[in-house]
Amino acid sequence: MSKPEFKNWRLETDIDQVCWLTIDRIGENTNSLSREVMTELEQIVTLLEKEPPRGLVLQSGKKNSFIVGADVREFEQVENSEEAEGFIREVHQLFNRVENLDFPTAVLIDGYCLGGGVELALCFDYRIASNVDHTRLGFPEVKLGIYPGFGGSARTTRLMGGFQAMQIMLTGRMLRAHQAKGLGLVDQLVGQHGSLRWAGRRAVLKSRKSRGPGLLAKLSNIGPARKFLAGQMRKQTSSRVSPKHYPAPFELIEAWQEHGGDSEQMLDEEARRVGQLITGSTSRGLRRVFWLMDKLKSHGKDSGFRARRLHVIGAGVMGGDIAAWAVLQGLEVTLQDREMKYIEPALKRAKKLFAKRLKTADRIAGAQSRLIADVEGEGAARADVIIEAIFENLEAKQELFKALESRVKPEAILATNTSAIPLKDIAAVLQNPQRLIGLHFFNPVAKMPLVEVVYDAETRQDEIQRGAAFCNQINRFPLPVRSSPGFLVNRVLARYMLKAFQIYRERQVPKEAIDKAAELFGMPMGPVELADTVGLDVGLGVMHTLGGDEAAEEAEVLKSLVAEGKLGKKSGEGFYRWKKGRAEKSRDAVKDINLESLSKELMAPYFDECLACLADEIVEDSDALDAGMVFGTGFAPFRGGPLFYLENRKEQEDE
């Protein structure tokens, strides 16, 4: 076979006339399916059709990575749904040709195989994956406001049966190699010491094919079964997201319910529906959040700092959970408090987290061994990062850092987790105040992905970058913010929650209605429930610091609840009663209330404070502010961030 040169592909034929096709996108760290990549693939398929080899094996030229999907950057160039639909149909035609090649084909998957990468792999006769930790397969498209559009909805439901395939596509869940094998998405696994290349060569020489679905899987695609299962899927999905805010999963369910028994019709529905979704406001907003996430991850990348040991002072809910999270990310952590009785609850919570995340006894035991109770604080001298997480009192924090400074390594990061106290006030007692940074985590630590990296005019730039690098190391998004009361997230939340409490106290609007109005806008939970979740004692401290005289009466409401021991979710009662981790709410409380009007009233101070923070240069730019509010407060992701929403409000509300 002749060997033409391609920019993003290599085509080689071995002595047995097996053709090896390697995707290695030029100038990129990972492979994605851009228009250029697809155009070259079409040329290769034409060549293979004219000069058939004995077999074809597809592999990646990138280390520990297969294909991460379509090139999301090119989505922004699509001007209308007709253009998107036309491109999708072109891809369908190309992938059908790959599927119909008249010789054995196999694909070797090592590393991330996502979205369009899985869809291309499904066109091959046989799929082989490396059974190692870095291999993941999945369809993350719903997180971008669409569903699989390169044939995925048709081929997965045909291969695996509708029930299993739909669960994977609707959730965007990542599968490990052995899970993908169990579901039939992968046909063969190769262990760490095996040879993928040898397995691929053997597969095509023996003309191996995927075994296809079992009887029950086939039955799930039959009309009556589809109707029943689609109803259950719709109900389950509705409990998580609104079809108005997130239409993609509901479009997928409808397409499968109506046409799941006909692959050609499913492809037609894909082209039409995904073409419309990709140009809608939800997809645009979610794509912006995707880029904002990448921007946050870029902070600290050039630092080179990497920690081995962390020392946390303060074993309360926040400090204990920071320690547990860092252990999960592979660090050795010492946890200090005044007495062992204050550390023990944190160790118990950590054990539950380890059991939930790590599953196996040996991994859980390993994590527990890395979390060390340290009443005397001896770990501070060895630590690469020291985080203070004691109660919100300036004098107490100053006293602690003054005693700590001479005991720690000169190169160690010194950080405070204060939620509102200005950095310069804490650092004033240090001999080297330029060294102190804020690492402000959010509750619950295991779920909230943002960390504010707080600095002021005196802070050394390399300390900010090292702090950001540490956040990336423990899989948290670093957001550099200038020190001022409340920083960014709490400053905005304080105005938003104050408005909610004023409406609750002055007009006696039910708390359930206030929360429902916020959820109607797209917030993951309402402000009253959020206050209970964070802790009313924490909220009271923030209100005292940030609210001023305007918040005096609302602070008294919180103060009376705290005095009764009603701290919110962590004590079992606050504004709500909590059972099994859920707030008990009255459904009747929202009757006869104009939730849309209430929603606008609630969100107005949120937006006003965002604009004020931007004007005060609390963060670098509008992108940074939107990222902070999405990942720090859960601001409706489908809206792309508060400032992006304000710029595109009319378009979003008209859809």
Whole-number Å distance between alpha carbons of 589 and 510: 6
Tell me the three state secondary structure of residue 601: helix
| Residue 624: partners with Cβ closer than 8 Å, 6 or more residues away | 295, 479, 480
Structure tokens at 98: 């790959």
Amino acid at 456: D
Which one from 60, 130, 283, 419 is the annotated catalytic residue?
419
Sequence-distant (6+) residues with CB within 8 A of 46 are: none
Strands 436-440 and 175-176 come out as unpaired
For residue 342, give every residue at least 6 positions away whose Cβ sits within 8 Å of its Cβ, in sequence order, or none. 315, 316
Return the residue matching tokens 């609630």: 602
b/e per residue 579-611 (b: at least 16 CB within 10 A): eeeebebeeeebeebebeebbebbbebbbebbe
Looking at 92, 245, 299, 440, which residue is catalytic? 440
Does the active-site annotation cover 452?
Answer: yes
The one catalytic residue in 119, 141, 452, 529 is 452
Residue 419 a catalytic site member: yes
Tell which residue, 55, 69, 46, has the closest CA to residue 21.
55
Q: Which of 8, 32, 220, 490 is catalytic?
A: 490
Does residue 440 carry a catalytic annotation? yes
Peptide bond into 444 cis (omega under 30): yes
**What angle do the packed helices 536-546 and 527-534 form, to 10 degrees?**
110
**Alpha carbons 421 and 544: distance in angstroms, whole number:** 11
Tell me how crowded residue 418 is: count the other CB atoms within 10 A of its CB: 24
Assigned token pair, 198: 């040898």
Residue 233, CA distances (Å) to 118, 238, 330 in order: 23, 8, 37
Half-sphere exposure of 114 (CA within 13 A, CB side): 22
Give me the amino acid identity at 323.
A
Known catalytic membership, residue 490:
yes
Annotated catalytic residues are 419, 440, 452, 490
